[in-house]
Amino acid sequence: MSVRTTAPPELTVTGVTVRFAGLTALDAVSFTVAPGTVHALIGPNGAGKSTCFNVLSGLCRPASGAVRLGGAELTRLAPHRIAALGVARTFQNIVTTRGTVADNLMLGRHALSRAGFAASALRLPRARREQRAHLDRAREIARLVGLEAHFDSPVGLLSYGDRKRVEFARALCLEPRVLLLDEPVAGMNAAERAATARVVDTVRAELGLSVVLVEHDMGLVMRIADEVTVLDFGRAVAHGTPDEVRRDPEVLRAYLGTGAEGEDAA
């Protein structure tokens, strides 16, 4: 089984710039995700958060700058190569397939298969053993995120919050060293948001991975993040602990239209 046992490497983003048809979506953005921490990217709509996630996961190539995971350069790699190095992500909108929770989680294990197509198609003993091991690991991950009771249930019958957790669990099935969570509690009720916060804490503690989080729910961010980077109009305008960021004048200006200049004028 390909279960990560070592501490995740540092993820560093250095001077990343992305332009679309003359529009600068990210402007020389830099930040570092320390191993084993939860690092939040926040900012108003259109600040560049999703573009940044697309760069980290290989869906978008920057005009300049670099992304490194430890000693590996990710900037020009295809998404499947980045995933193989230990970076997995979820999306704002739920992306699941038909079938059961188990079926969806086993899709996440597919990239870790070593048996080969022929051995799997012929159901050779080695392939059957590997399949059982992957299924056992998928069940462990389902338990970790609170889906064990639904493991054999059709995804289409689950609640919205549980379907979001299926996507979360499927990303974990890749055994990532860095997990990118794109608005994991969007559309959830208060109880589901609290449950997801507990799951993130549990996953970080038990699996020892790093988490990069994009989220509009500031209560969740302040509750679970170790470090926060604030984006506004594609620029990183603040960085620090949740308490430091909450008091930063640039953050107040970005979110509320107020800040040091307005206070001085008053």
Q: Domain residues for 112?
A: 97-175
Residue in the structure block whose two tokens are 């930063």: 248
Which among 124, 98, 101, 97 has a CA at the least distance from the CA of 113?
A: 124
Look at the alpha carbons of 171, 176, 181, 185 in this order and tell me if their dihedral is positive or negative.
positive
In this structure, the number of other CB atoms found within 10 A of the CB of residue 50 comes to: 19
Residues 136 and 256 in one domain: no
Note the pLDDT tens digit of each residue in 6-34: 778 999 999 999 999 889 999 999 999 99
Distances (CA, A) of 1 to 30, 74, 125: 35, 25, 16
Q: What angle do CA 164, 215, 106 make, to 5 degrees?
A: 30
Considering 140, 175, 210, which residue would you say is the last residue of a domain? 175
Residues 183 and 251 in one domain: yes
Query: Residue ranges of the alpha helices (H) in the chain?
Result: 49-56, 79-84, 101-109, 117-121, 125-144, 160-172, 190-207, 218-224, 242-246, 249-256, 260-265
pLDDT above 70 (res 54): yes
Query: In this structure, is residue 92 part of a structural domain?
Result: no
pLDDT category of residue 247 using cuts at 50, 70 and 90: confident
Q: What total of structural domains would you count in the chain?
A: 2
Residue in the structure block whose two tokens are 């979001």: 164
Among the residue ranges 95-109, 133-147, 148-162, 193-207, the one predicted with the least confidence is 95-109
Residue 100's DSSP bridge partners are: 154
Provide the CATH number for the domain around residue 191.
3.40.50.300
List all residues 6 or more positions away from 265 whose beta carbon is below 8 Å from its beta carbon. none
In this structure, the number of other CB atoms found within 10 A of the CB of residue 199 comes to: 19
The SS3 call for residue 6 is coil
pLDDT category of residue 237 using cuts at 50, 70 and 90: very high
Residues 195 and 235 in one domain: yes
Query: In this structure, is residue 78 part of a structural domain?
Result: yes
